[in-house]
Amino acid sequence: MDNWHLLQHGSPAQVEKAVKECIAIAAPSSGYCPGSSGEINPTTPVVNAITMYRAIKKYGKYPVKRLANSR
């Protein structure tokens, strides 16, 4: 997940949506390890970091289904 724009300035709903989309696109071929694109900056809202973690646990369980419009 984009650790600057999304995690720092996005809403928790935007963070959860991005996690779900990334997992649905990348995970079905296995080996995908979701996370932030770098360190979690000290100014990142804690709720966004927690939302990312919880969404990864929620949507990152195998088997993962692709989104209908993904390759």
* pLDDT value of residue 14: 97
How many angstroms separate the CA atoms of 15 and 6, rounded? 7
In sequence order, which residues have a C-beta less than 8 Å from that of residue 28 and are 6 or more positions away? 63, 64, 65, 66
| Mean pLDDT in order along the chain per 10 residues (71 residues) | 89 96 82 82 94 93 66 49
| pTM score | 0.81
* pLDDT value of residue 30: 73
* pLDDT value of residue 65: 66
* pLDDT value of residue 38: 82
* pLDDT value of residue 3: 83
